[in-house]
Amino acid sequence: MRMPSGKKGVPKAHPHYHGHEAKPTAHLDASSSALFHTDFSYSSELLSFLDGKQLLPQEIPFPSDLIQAHHEHGYLSYEKGLTKTKHGWRCARCGNEDPHFFATFPCARCQAMCTYCRKCITMGRVSECTPLVTSRVRFPSVSYPNPLAWSGTLSPGQKRAAEAVEKAIMGNGELLVWAVCGAGKTEVLFQGIARALEIGKRVCIATPRTDVVRELAPRLKQAFPSVPLIALYGGSDDRGKFAPFVISTTHQLLRFSRAFDVMVIDEVDAFPYSVEPMLEYAVAKARKETSSLIYLTATPKRSWQRDVRHGKRQAVTIPARYHGFPLPVPAFEWCGNWRKQLKRRRLPRNVLAWVQSRIEAGKQAFFFIPHIEVIDPVVRIFKQLDERIEGVHAEDPQRAEKVQAFRDGRLPLLVTTTILERGVTVPNIDVAVLGAEDRIFTESALVQIAGRVGRSAQHPSGDIRFFHYGKTREMVAAKRHIERMNKEAAERGMIRR
Ligand SMILES: [Zn+2]
Ligand SMILES: [Zn+2]
């Protein structure tokens, strides 16, 4: 359904909204069967606010009478938040069907015991009596001529990938961009996104991690200065807004419905997307039926790697880094039963020697450990070598300060859990893993960890040491993964000589 022209407006929050209650159950209809009254004087503010969204009534900053009138005249549809299935319930917002994630509460609105979804509760309660509101009208899309202001150059590998991305976007196809850490995968999207925006397509880049959203948003704003762009994550100021260009955590996608022509999933393998069917559901719901889907990752899961090798999945690889030097390959080093030693407040000699030699050479390093409990005892021992050594983990209140101190060169070594496996790029460092045999160090985690080393053209190499108490399949797979990429890069003439 298209809006009659001449009435389109910029979405604006209603100034007199004071938080109205939703309508009771009797008003729910999932059928969207209301007749569409063309003589109704609709609010373009409300409709453009709701365009492409699926929201709880309390998330819509307009009076409930106005919302209700739009519903009665066929402009909005109310979908049931929960529907009955053969086995129990299904949440229409997050797709949850797991009985463990449903509970009941005495509900004031429907004055009965009411079931609700616990899975997506952090985004507001979806219960039996909750409608999810979507707009039934689409606004004409806006196009942005020549939106790309970026003038950098692409490496040959990036160029080929950029062309494949553009082709997938224009043809509403699906594509995996498998790019090594440091290949420059964001720039690979620019050309295709520019084409999409030029013809009025709506673009979303989704990633599981808030850090990535925060980091990417300013870069994208700079590359596309004329295009309204919003960044969505828990607590972001842009929540509730809509723009032709959205960068969002996968979680925030739950508030969209059939919104995007182009969906890019960054770091598809990263926690929690790979383990969370909810987020997969969110991605599927937020895309239009006809749309393109681009996955970006350095470490696709093994089944995808296999599919790519057998030509069963459309993919383009960038096996070389932007600077054209090969990826440093990890070395394995047995270190015995380090946990037992740690109980006696000791660490294996070769581990200490590695740390000592970094300190002497003045080379900074990340030191990865498998579990948070290991940080303190390890740091205590390392502080005897250099008291500036610190440890950091996900819930550390000083996390940002410590990472910054490391970036500034004020810390020689940072002991860390896998939280720093992605994202943090420091030009000239070595990395070690203690207990590389631990289950937490999957192929993907180890490839990402190795990917921290040699990122800048000035310092393209470095030492990657996996200290272990028994080599694992994951370790071997990670090393083979890196070697295979180097081989492919060499064969394609992408390695600098
Ligand atoms: Zn839910
Ligand atoms: Zn209720």
Over the stretch 81-127, which tens digit does the pLDDT of each residue have?
999 999 899 999 999 999 999 999 999 988 999 999 999 999 999 99
Report the pLDDT value the prediction gives residue 272, as an integer from 0 to 100: 54
Report the pLDDT value the prediction gives residue 137, as an integer from 0 to 100: 87
User: Ligand 2 centroid vs 62 CA: distance in angstroms?
Assistant: 22
User: Ligand 1 centroid vs 12 CA: distance in angstroms?
Assistant: 28
- Residue 290 DSSP code: E
Domains of the chain: 25-135 (no CATH), 156-318 (3.40.50.300), 331-491 (3.40.50.300)
More confident residue, 189 or 5: 189
DSSP element (H, E) containing 468: strand 464-468
**Mean pLDDT of the 136-140 span:** 85
CA-closest candidate to residue 247, choices 211, 288, 300: 211
More confident residue, 21 or 336: 336
The residues near 108 (Cβ < 8 Å, ≥ 6 apart) are none
Q: Minimum-distance ligand to the CA of 124?
A: 1
52 has a pLDDT exceeding 80:
yes
User: Ligand 1 centroid vs 93 CA: distance in angstroms?
Assistant: 5
**Mean pLDDT of the 438-457 span:** 94
Burial (CB count within 10 angstroms: exposed 0-12, middle 13-18, buried 19+), residue 30: middle
pLDDT class of 425 with cuts at 50, 70, 90 = confident
Summarize pLDDT for 145-168 with one digit per residue, the tens.
999 999 999 999 999 999 999 999
User: Ligand 2 centroid vs 105 CA: distance in angstroms?
Assistant: 8
216 has a pLDDT exceeding 70:
yes
Cα–Cα dist 104/263, whole Å: 35
Question: Which two three-digit tokens encode residue 420?
Answer: 């720093």
Report the pLDDT value the prediction gives residue 28, as an integer from 0 to 100: 35
User: Ligand 1 centroid vs 251 CA: distance in angstroms?
Assistant: 11
Report the pLDDT value the prediction gives residue 271, as an integer from 0 to 100: 57
Q: Minimum-distance ligand to the CA of 125?
A: 1
Report the pLDDT value the prediction gives residue 454, as an integer from 0 to 100: 95
The residues near 218 (Cβ < 8 Å, ≥ 6 apart) are none
End-to-end Cα separation, the chain, in angstroms: 58
Burial (CB count within 10 angstroms: exposed 0-12, middle 13-18, buried 19+), residue 121: middle
Report the pLDDT value the prediction gives residue 10, as an integer from 0 to 100: 35
37 has a pLDDT exceeding 90:
no
Instruction: Classify strands 112-117 and 203-207 as parallel, antiparallel or unpaired.
Output: unpaired
User: Ligand 2 centroid vs 240 CA: distance in angstroms?
Assistant: 24
Q: Mapped to the 3 state alphabet, what secondary structure does 193-236 carry?
A: HHHHHHCCCCEEEEECCHHHHHHHHHHHHHHCCCCCEEEECCCC
User: Ligand 1 centroid vs 335 CA: distance in angstroms?
Assistant: 46
Summarize pLDDT for 394-410 with one digit per residue, the tens.
888 998 899 899 999 99
User: Ligand 1 centroid vs 123 CA: distance in angstroms?
Assistant: 9
- Residue 295 DSSP code: E
Cα–Cα dist 450/328, whole Å: 7
pTM (two decimals): 0.85
Summarize pLDDT for 226-243 with one digit per residue, the tens.
999 999 998 888 876 778
User: Ligand 2 centroid vs 256 CA: distance in angstroms?
Assistant: 23
Q: Minimum-distance ligand to the CA of 128?
A: 2
| Average predicted confidence (pLDDT) for the chain | 89
Q: Minimum-distance ligand to the CA of 112?
A: 2
User: Ligand 2 centroid vs 43 CA: distance in angstroms?
Assistant: 29
User: Ligand 2 centroid vs 112 CA: distance in angstroms?
Assistant: 7
Q: Minimum-distance ligand to the CA of 105?
A: 2
Q: Minimum-distance ligand to the CA of 95?
A: 1
**Mean pLDDT of the 270-291 span:** 81
User: Ligand 1 centroid vs 425 CA: distance in angstroms?
Assistant: 36
Q: What angle in degrees, to the nearest 10, is found between the helix axes of 187-198 and 156-170?
A: 30
Summarize pLDDT for 467-492 with one digit per residue, the tens.
999 999 999 999 999 999 999 999 99
**Mean pLDDT of the 415-422 span:** 85
Summarize pLDDT for 281-330 with one digit per residue, the tens.
999 999 999 999 999 999 998 889 999 999 999 999 999 999 999 999 99
User: Ligand 1 centroid vs 210 CA: distance in angstroms?
Assistant: 21
Instruction: Classify strands 82-84 and 89-91 as parallel, antiparallel or unpaired.
Output: antiparallel
14 has a pLDDT exceeding 60:
no
Q: Minimum-distance ligand to the CA of 130?
A: 2
Question: Which two three-digit tokens encode residue 449?
Answer: 């960890």
User: Ligand 2 centroid vs 297 CA: distance in angstroms?
Assistant: 42
Cα–Cα dist 255/180, whole Å: 32
User: Ligand 1 centroid vs 120 CA: distance in angstroms?
Assistant: 4
Amino acid sitting at position 39? D
User: Ligand 2 centroid vs 110 CA: distance in angstroms?
Assistant: 4
CA-closest candidate to residue 244, choices 209, 288, 196: 196
**CB distance 425 to 395 below 8 Å:** no
Q: Minimum-distance ligand to the CA of 117?
A: 1
User: Ligand 1 centroid vs 254 CA: distance in angstroms?
Assistant: 9
Report the pLDDT value the prediction gives residue 276, as an integer from 0 to 100: 73
User: Ligand 1 centroid vs 94 CA: distance in angstroms?
Assistant: 4
CA angle 83, 292, 50 (to 5 degrees): 50
User: Ligand 1 centroid vs 144 CA: distance in angstroms?
Assistant: 36
User: Ligand 1 centroid vs 298 CA: distance in angstroms?
Assistant: 30
**CB distance 448 to 422 below 8 Å:** yes
Report the pLDDT value the prediction gives residue 11, as an integer from 0 to 100: 35
Burial (CB count within 10 angstroms: exposed 0-12, middle 13-18, buried 19+), residue 160: middle
User: Ligand 1 centroid vs 128 CA: distance in angstroms?
Assistant: 11
pLDDT class of 250 with cuts at 50, 70, 90 = confident
Other C-beta atoms within 10 Å of 253: how many? Answer: 25
User: Ligand 1 centroid vs 265 CA: distance in angstroms?
Assistant: 21
CA-closest candidate to residue 321, choices 166, 488, 191, 125: 488
pLDDT class of 225 with cuts at 50, 70, 90 = very high
DSSP element (H, E) containing 448: helix 443-450
Q: Minimum-distance ligand to the CA of 28?
A: 2
Question: Measured on CA atoms in the order 460, 463, 468, 473, is the torsion positive or negative?
Answer: positive
Q: b/e string for 368-402 if b means 16 or more Cβ within 10 A?
A: bbbeeebbebbbebbeebeeebbbbbeebeeeeeb
User: Ligand 1 centroid vs 278 CA: distance in angstroms?
Assistant: 8
Q: Minimum-distance ligand to the CA of 126?
A: 1
Q: Minimum-distance ligand to the CA of 115?
A: 2
Summarize pLDDT for 323-380 with one digit per residue, the tens.
999 999 999 999 999 999 999 999 999 999 999 999 999 999 999 999 999 999 999 9
CA-closest candidate to residue 158, choices 476, 443, 436, 494: 494
User: Ligand 2 centroid vs 137 CA: distance in angstroms?
Assistant: 28
Q: Minimum-distance ligand to the CA of 97?
A: 1
Report the pLDDT value the prediction gives residue 228, as an integer from 0 to 100: 95
